[in-house]
Amino acid sequence: MKKEKQKEVEYAFWGYDLFPYVLWGKIVEKLDSGEVRIKEYGDGIVRPLKIFTEKDALVLIDSLTKVKIQRSELTNAINNLTGDVLKSFASWAISK
């Protein structure tokens, strides 16, 4: 019995308007148009900016996730700091 070569899993990354400005998903099918079907989006079709092997994609996804967390933490810290400064001279401007 002949073993079929297992197809390598690939991930597509495409542009998005919110930080980190890309989304990603596992490719189900590559189309002749250059677009791909994505598993996580109900087989939705996107035009990728970049395609990576699963191994490389998972490293990138991990890095993007860490950056998103860092950005969120920094944003919260800035909001707390500026809120405290505003309270010090215009507490009436802050609604709860």
Where are the domains positioned within the chain? 10-90
pLDDT, tens digit (0-9, with 9 covering 90-100), for 42-91: 889 999 999 999 999 999 999 999 999 999 999 999 988 888 787 888 88
pLDDT, tens digit (0-9, with 9 covering 90-100), for 1-25: 544 455 899 999 999 999 999 999 9
Residue 57, Cβ density class (10 Å: 0-12 exposed, 13-18 middle, ≥19 buried): buried
d(CA 36, CA 39) in angstroms, rounded, equals: 10
